[in-house]
Amino acid sequence: MNWTSAERGAGTMTTRNSTRYVPGTAIMLDAMMDNPIVAGAAGLTLIAGGCVRMGNALVLILLMVLLLPLVGILSAIERERISPTLRPAFYCAVTAVTVFLFSLMIEGIARGSVENLGIYGPLLAVDSLVLCRTAEDSPYVTPREAFWEALGYAAVFAIIALPAALIREILGNGTLFGGFLGFGGFEALRSPFAGFIICGFALAAYRAVIVHRSNMEQRSSRSAEGGRRQ
C-alpha cells in the first residue's frame, strides 16, 4: 500500500503497480512518506507489546535495521524466481533464521536484552512490516531502492517506538534505562492496550506532519503554475 501525493492530503490509500524512484536520500524520504506503519499500522503490535522499556525499543529497532534491508533486497532479487504459493513459507523461513541468528549475536553482546522482549522477539520474524515487501502486489523495485526503502521503514518504526517506550518506562515502570526514579509508576501503562493508545496518538501526530507537508507541496506547486501562466 502506498500514498500518492494527492491521496496523502486526502487521507486515502491506493495500491500502485509501479513506483518512480530517484537515487539516494530521496528514496529514503519517499519511503518514510509512503510507509506501511502509517498506512496500515504494520509493526505496531511489536511497539505496543514489546516497547515497555527503552532497552526493549532499542533492541527491536536494531533488529529491524538488520532485518528489513535483508528481506527487502532478497525480495527484489528473488521476486520472479519464487512461486507465489511458496513465497510465504520461503520468507518466513528466511526471517525466522535471520532473527534467530541476530538475536544470538545481540544476546552475546548484551545478555538478557533479547530475552526481555519475550514473545515479541520471535514475532518479529512474521511481523507484517517485515514481510510487507514480499506481498504479491507490492511494486517492483531494484535491490538498491529496496535497501533505502527498508531504512525509511526502520526510521519511522524508531520514531514511534522510542517515544512510546520512553513514556511507558518513566510513567509505567518508574524507571529510566533501569534506574529507579523514585515512584512506582502506573501498571496499566505497561499493558499492550495502553501501548496501542500511545501508538495511536503518535500515528496521529505523524499523520498530521505528512498532511501538512503534502498541503505545503500542493500550495507551492499551484503558486509555481500560477507564476508561469502570468
pLDDT in tens, 110-128: 888 888 888 888 888 888 7
**Mean per-residue pLDDT for 154-163?**
87
CB 168, CB 53: distance < 8 Å: yes
Q: What DSSP string describes 153-195?
A: HHHHHHHHHHHHHHHIIIIIISEETTEE-SS---GGGGSHHHH
- Does some domain include residue 92? yes
- Does some domain include residue 97? yes
* Cell matching residue 116: 526481555
**Mean per-residue pLDDT for 81-104?**
84
- Does some domain include residue 217? no
Half-sphere exposure of 217 (CA within 13 A, CB side): 13
Whether 168 has a pLDDT exceeding 70, the answer reads yes
Range of the domain at 158: 42-186
Half-sphere exposure of 150 (CA within 13 A, CB side): 27
- Does some domain include residue 46? yes
- Does some domain include residue 104? yes
- Does some domain include residue 91? yes
- Does some domain include residue 82? yes
Per residue in 214-224, pLDDT tens?
888 888 887 77
- Does some domain include residue 108? yes
Number of domains the chain is built from: 1
Cα distance between residue 106 and residue 113, in whole Å: 7
